[in-house]
Amino acid sequence: DVKVTQSSRYLVKRTGEKVFLECVQDMDHENMFWYRQDPGLGLRLIYFSYDVKMKEKGDIPEGYSVSREKKERFSLILESASTNQTSMYLCASSKQGVEQYFGPGTRLTVT
């Protein structure tokens, strides 16, 4: 079974803090994705990576960066958290063009 894990289910941070969200997959997938989900806005793609050290901006990359030093791990970084980054963050992985698998999500609150 494919397993995608995320480092935290719930996270509370203060405005201005640097925040790291970690995602690990165990199925040797090339592609990894970070989405955020907000009420009424659906899932929006922040960044994706199609190989180690490779990354591409998604639809809403502003205020975020990513890191993929190993194939199994994809990190989302909020350089200076702001209240408008309070959201549900979902990580996913896939082989190219086939099924995408999601982690359990991280509910981030920035106060």
Partner 1 sequence: GIQVEQSPPDLILQEGANSTLRCNFSDSVNNLQWFHQNPWGQLINLFYIPSGTKQNGRLSATTVATERYSLLYISSSQTTDSGVYFCAVFSGTYKYIFGTGTRLKVLA
Residues in contact with partner 1 by the rule CB under 8 A: 31, 33, 37, 42-43, 45, 48, 50, 56, 58, 88, 90, 92, 96-105, 107
* 98 token code pair: 């086939």
Q: What is the smallest separation between the CB atom of 94 and partner 1, expressed in angstroms? A: 8
Q: What is the smallest separation between the CB atom of 69 and partner 1, expressed in angstroms? A: 19
Nearer to partner 1, 2 or 79 (CB): 2
Strand-pair category, 87-94 with 31-38: antiparallel
Q: Distance from CA of residue 78 to its chain's centroid?
A: 10
